[in-house]
Amino acid sequence: MSQSGGTRAIVAALLANLGIAVTKFIAWFFSGSSSMLAEGVHSLADSGNQVLLLIGGRRSKRQADEAHPFGYGRERFVYAFVVSIVLFSVGGVFSLYEGIDKITHPHPLEVPWLPILVLLIAIALESFSLRTAVKESNHLRGQEGWIAFIRHAKQPELPVVLLEDVAALCGLVFALFGVGLTILTGNPVWDGIGTILIGLLLVVVAFVLGIETKSLLVGEGASPADTVTIRDLLNAHPKVEAVIHMKTLYLGPDELLVAAKLAFPRTTKAVDLAAAIDEVEASVRAAVPQARVIYLEPDIYVQRGSNPSTDSVVIKASD
């Protein structure tokens, strides 16, 4: 990342959501709008989520130790997954419950202009938070579309903040829809419908976040483009006759493990072998900076055809 870029987006979202949550709860207290209560809980849940992301980012920086020899980088994935659970349980389920209760037990709005004012202010603040997240995400996504960026990003913070901000803006529109129709028609059921729409939106966003972060927790390898780059660099060294096999794994958002078995001529001296491996590692790190942990195992083969990468019998020098 710019992990600092992700942190800026998180802090901007946190400050916006705290201010919005307070104003929404004040509006709910005086108006009795269930949409405002649902939106207040939504903003409070988002604020808690941003605190979780900040904690995850801080804990992921701890040094590797005997119990965790590859470090704590994946803690950022864990906290991002917890965010999806909080968004579903606190935000989504509560909003659905409150909306159903408002429809079954309707009551008129008090001070109807106050929720409208608060919602318009909240839309402006959430737009500022989303603008910050978009600006920081643009540094990373390059030519990728937004959906592809959210699906493929290895840094979980920015996709989480982006989805939360988009969900918050959509939720505010739903709340404005419910409150506005309640004021126009005098029927408080519309307020409950707006609340249910907010709940359904949060459940969907939480589901998407859960799927994407679960994939990171299970373990993802390098992107197809990075995989091709690394493989080409391994093959490009004059001492390397073939890449027998290669595997990659993200140990954290900014740390990629590369493990490969390389075929070298059987006459290669140990000192030349060590130098070649060092040179290959340096070239890979220069091209793919995330490849911080590289393990290369030398091997030999007996060639049976013209293409050693496909027509060879590997004789293992070590296992």
Q: Provide the CATH number for the domain around residue 192.
A: 1.20.1510.10
Per the structure, the complete domain to which residue 126 belongs is given by 3-218
Instruction: Decide: 257 and 250 in contact? Cβ < 8 Å.
Output: yes
Where is the domain boundary, 162, 192, 218?
A: 218
Residues 40 and 131 occupy one common structural domain: yes
For position 289, what pLDDT does the model report?
Answer: 92
Does residue 310 have a pLDDT over 70?
Answer: no
When pLDDT is averaged across residues 8-37 and rounded to a whole number, the result is 82
**How large is the average pLDDT for residues 243-263?**
90
> Dihedral, CA atoms, 193, 123, 50, 12, nearest 10 degrees?
180
pLDDT higher than 70, residue 314: no
Distance (Å) of CA 292 to CA 78, 271, 276: 21, 23, 18
Of the candidates 208, 202, 207, 204, the one whose C-alpha atom is nearest the C-alpha of residue 92 is 202
How confident is the model at residue 318, as a pLDDT?
41
Q: How far, in Å, CA of 43 to CA of 55, rounded?
A: 18
2-16, 111-125, 170-184 — which one is most confidently predicted on average?
170-184
- In the prediction, which pLDDT does 284 show? 95
* Cα 42 from Cα 45, distance rounded (Å): 5
- pLDDT reported for residue 296: 94
Who wins on pLDDT, 287 or 125? 287
Provide the residue type at 35 as one letter: S
d(CA 251, CA 281): 18
With a cut of 60, say whether residue 266 has pLDDT above it: yes
Of the candidates 155, 164, 166, 213, which has an alpha carbon nearest to the alpha carbon of residue 4?
Answer: 155
Question: Are 107 and 179 members of one domain?
Answer: yes
Tell me how many domains the chain contains.
2
CB 27 within 8 A of CB 114: yes
The residues facing 246 across adjacent strands are 260
Question: In the structure, what pLDDT confidence band is assigned to residue 6 with cuts at 50, 70 and 90?
Answer: low
Percent of the chain, pLDDT > 90?
A: 18
Looking at 193, 218, 243, the residue that finishes a domain is 218
For residues 190 and 238, membership in a common domain is answered with no
Do 114 and 259 lie in one domain? The reply is no
- Give the pLDDT mean for 230-244: 92
Of 194, 218, 242, the one marking the end of a domain is 218
Q: Residue 42: helix, strand or coil by DSSP?
A: helix
pLDDT digits (tens, 9 = 90+) for 69-124: 888 888 888 888 888 787 777 778 888 888 888 888 887 877 778 888 888 888 88
The whole-number pLDDT of residue 4 equals: 54
Give me the percent of the chain exceeding a pLDDT of 70: 92
Average model confidence (pLDDT) for the chain?
82
- Does position 292 have pLDDT exceeding 70, yes or no? yes
Residue whose entry in the numeric block shows the structure tokens 């040179």: 279
Residue predicted with more confidence, 262 or 13:
262
* Closest to 297 (Cα-Cα) out of 268, 263, 267, 266: 263
pLDDT at 316 over 70: no
Residue 118 in tokens: 């608060």
**Does one domain contain both 209 and 228?**
no
Same domain, 207 and 292: no
**In the predicted model, is pLDDT for residue 146 greater than 60?**
yes
Question: Quick one: 59 and 206 in the same domain?
Answer: yes
pTM over 0.75? The answer is: no
Q: Same domain, yes or no, for 276 and 141?
A: no
Residue 290 amino acid letter:
Q
Q: Are residues 206 and 290 in the same domain?
A: no
Whether 125 and 253 share a structural domain: no
The per-residue pLDDT for 319 is 39
239 with 283, same domain?
yes
Say what the pLDDT of residue 5 is: 52
What pLDDT sits at residue 234? 94
User: What is the distance between the alpha carbons of residues 137 and 150, in angstroms, rounded to a whole number?
Assistant: 10
- Regarding whether 281 and 202 lie in a shared domain, the answer is no
